[in-house]
Structure 1
């Protein structure tokens, strides 16, 4: 099992999701303009990202460029399904969040080739080597603990989740439909012995029994359920949890002592985008110093631009991290998801 205690070697395979619907509006035109020949002033974005990201990054982009953005928010899995159904006539221009190497490799026909001139400013391990998707932040899998409900229950890592006192009190979502839940699945397997390790899957069987049949609708339901006192602990990711902590919720973030995986979040232009030039401008903006400073100063996201620090998060050097096997996950994502689904079904 590869291990790492710093950012330099952390690489990724996955990603975080929020379920809320945006307003739809008509969008028409050619790749570089509308039917009348004038340049488009529109951009349509599908995103699983948190409200904090969308409420800060989108207005800043609109102010910077004068482009009007329409946002449609949904879970990462639902977005991919929608993109597949719209492949012959895409409504969306950008998939902002939930994109990683595995998603790209499984659905290469969905995305448009583009490498931002700003990409060269990123650390080599985070650069756009596929030519199609751009990484813009990094995020770690974590446990979110309700301090009031946990009381004297020790929760320091995955092994502690098998405590009988936590049965039915662990919030999680479906790895087949949530990028953050899939990231937790691979993090757990890696931390507990390896993706194919019998002991790791034995642990997963015991953990699924602890869920007591409860699987929530999406990533946001997990951390909200813990913050609202419906669950004692949740399998989730750092960004929204850090926001809850900052806002005074009775919760704390626990990075599992067995090791946490940090994953970059990516964005990609959709093949056949009707507002291609605007989509390219959005990718450029995401990894500009201005946008990265918003992540670092105003939000609970770790900037991917090394020169921009995060003012709101635990230094990554203080966290015990483990490194995901990117090629393995890309080649075996469906296999891992199917194995989990069969395991879950067999225990119901």
Structure 2
């Protein structure tokens, strides 16, 4: 007759039967539930698709979305945090400098997602406070029925007066990032933005409005994130995309967990999902350049290795962001 195992031994056997450390998406023993509050700058339709795909994997989690431009999302979040009651559990917004600012204020919960193993370390915070989820390069888009291509940022500043449209850095996180990078790029700098002002460049709130204006012919040229321009072209709009020869600013739409979240398990599951094979495939299906190794990019994108990237230190951009935006607003009389 076999002697029964001591209770402690049974418990330890159950513990060690579970995977430790770097795991896989949605293990059977992890069942997040409850409500997850997502603050994001993703386009409305894309945010809804992202959440729907997440809930296919985690059906017990309901997701509430607040969506606006990155600058408005973060302004709302910071106001809530200052009052001691942040409402978001997870943030999914444009760029790393935004997350560097939040990290410096101790507003993010570190979480080393096991799914990050398949993503290059350059695209996430080494302390695991945030992770890039995709590649978004800012490019030139032009209406092929109304304009000739230009191959550089310098040439874009010389297109016919009033025929260039761009998102405002006071609303768009991508535009705020571009402002920080371009003003620190030799040969461009603040002089480039001064030339845009002199040439009566049109400002709109977000990248979506830029893509629509150029597709409709309201303006002939635009400065826009590449996935929107490529998506517009693939859908039949008379537009074409140029990656300027000086290089392109690139953001990664990071995701991070809010410190003190009331649903940490669901927040971690959301981060895992976005970085997972399935999550990256969903992003690619929506027309984004994925970050994860082994996920095929959508039609029409250059290889990541082909991009000439303009950049500046994220911490420096975070520190100077408000001053840069204020100078821009004064220049463009916003």
Compute the TM-score of the two structures, normalised by the length of structure 1. Answer: 0.78
Q: Does 1:210 align with 2:193?
A: no
The correspondence of residues 312-327 of structure 1 with structure 2, limited to 5 A, is 312=299, 313-327=301-315
Structure 1 unaligned residues grouped into runs of 5+: 1-38, 194-198
> Structure 1: how far apart are the matches of 2:159 and 2:207?
24
Tell me which of 295, 305, 327 is aligned to 2:292: 305
Map of 1:64 onto structure 2? 57
Q: CA 1:211–1:184 in 2, change beyond 3 Å: closer, same or farther? A: farther
Q: Residue by residue, what CA displacement relative to the aligned partner does 1:168-221 show, whole Å, maximum 9, x if unpaired? A: 12111221221121233234334453xxxxx62222211112235x32122322
Q: Is the 8 A contact 2:95 2:174 kept in 1?
A: no
Alpha-carbon separation, structure 1, partners of 2:221 and 2:186: 19
Instruction: Name the CA distance, whole Å, in 2 between partners of 1:187 and 1:99.
Output: 12
In structure 1, the residue corresponding to 2:229 is in which secondary structure? helix
Within 2, Cα distance between the matches of 1:51 and 1:253? 23
Unaligned regions of 5+ residues in structure 2, if any? 1-31
Instruction: Describe the superposition over 1:242-276 as per-residue Cα deviations: whole angstroms up to 9, x where unpaired.
Output: 21111111111111122112222201112332222
Is 1:174–1:216's contact at 8 Å kept on the other side of the alignment?
yes
> Which of 85, 91, 96 pairs up with 1:95?
91
How far apart are the structure 2 equivalents of 1:191 and 1:249?
32
* Maintained 8 Å contact 1:144/1:236: yes
Are 2:280 and 1:292 aligned? yes
- What does residue 35 of structure 1 align with? none
Is 1:265 the counterpart of 2:253 in the alignment?
A: yes
Q: Deviations over 1:217-256 (max 9, x none)?
A: 2232222211222111111111222211111111111111
**Which structure has the bigger radius of gyration?**
2
* Alpha-carbon distance change, 253 to 267 in structure 1, aligned in 2, over 3 angstroms: same
Shift, 1:117, TM fit:
2.0
Q: Is the 8 A contact 2:227 2:288 kept in 1?
A: yes
Between the two structures, name the one with larger relative contact order (CA 8 Å, sep ≥ 6). 1
What is the Cα deviation at residue 51 of structure 1? 4.1
Q: Which runs of 4+ in 1 moved over 6 A?
A: none
Q: Secondary structure of 1:211's partner?
A: coil
TM-score (norm 2): 0.81
Establish whether residue 328 from structure 1 lines up as the match of residue 313 from structure 2: no
How far did 1:277 drift?
1.4
